[in-house]
Amino acid sequence: MAEPTLRVLYEDNHCIAVAKPAGIPTTHFQGREETLDRQVKAYLKERYAKPGNVFLGIVHRLDKAVSGVVLFAKTSKGASRLAEQFRQGSVEKVYWAVVEGVFEPSVGTLEDWLRKDEARRRVVISPPHSAGARQAVLHFQRRGCHDGLTWLEIRPQTGRTHQIRVQLAHRGHPIYGDARYGSIHTFDGSIALHARSLTFLHPIRYEPVTLTAEPPEAWRRFRKLGIRVPP
């Protein structure tokens, strides 16, 4: 199978952003599995005929099953400054999710405490301030509803592992295709969670930059919710 074409959303001397397909890990640890960072390094090496290793700073990640905007740094200074913005929570992140059921109310905030359950390899809701638990806050707005599914726009205030997936599933509305957290549907080996946009301060110019990624082709099945996927 041919490798998917890398979709570059933004690039300058200090950073590069691409549209991550669902089903590919953001970064590699061991092994030869194809990953997004390896694709970006190969692109930079070829485009600029760089000898030796190519520097690429990892400043945030998306789950393997999630699509959307991923930002990398091309310099160590850029990596340090961008990573600090993510740590401080000053990067504005917007996600689109399609969940099972009719989500009520139409707008609001979800607040929970999450803990990693290593034995079950998942994240669970815990009592506030319990050992190992961290606070998770997100804001949501309902964008569409049809045939037992709801399209939500989500703005996470915190960046916890599996936060959106767990907080929605806990309320009886798992993300479409997310079998780990209770979905009864399948979605081409991925889940209907898409990192729609990122807004951050440029690491050198300190000007706000907003980057947007269109949802993948598979999202065409949700057109009756009002979601449009460009050709």
Per-residue pLDDT, 51: 87
Q: Could you report the per-residue pLDDT of 37-54, keeping only the tens digit for each?
A: 999 999 999 999 988 889
Nearest to 195 by CA among 50, 46, 10, 71: 71
The proportion of the chain whose per-residue pLDDT surpasses 90, expressed as a percent, equals 90
The proportion of the chain whose per-residue pLDDT surpasses 70, expressed as a percent, equals 97
Per-residue pLDDT, 3: 47
Per-residue pLDDT, 111: 98
225, pLDDT greater than 60: yes
From the list 37, 63, 112, 178, the catalytic residue is 63
Q: Could you report the per-residue pLDDT of 93-124, keeping only the tens digit for each?
A: 999 999 999 999 999 999 999 999 988 889 99
| Rounded distance between C-alpha atoms, residue 95 and residue 50, angstroms | 34
193, pLDDT greater than 90: yes
Per-residue pLDDT, 136: 97
Per-residue pLDDT, 28: 77
According to DSSP, the residues that pair with 124 across neighbouring strands are 115
Per-residue pLDDT, 164: 98
Q: Which domains does the chain have, with CATH numbers?
A: 8-225 (3.30.2350.10)
Annotation says 63 is catalytic: yes
Chain center to CA of 142: 19
Per-residue pLDDT, 2: 39
According to DSSP, the residues that pair with 57 across neighbouring strands are 73
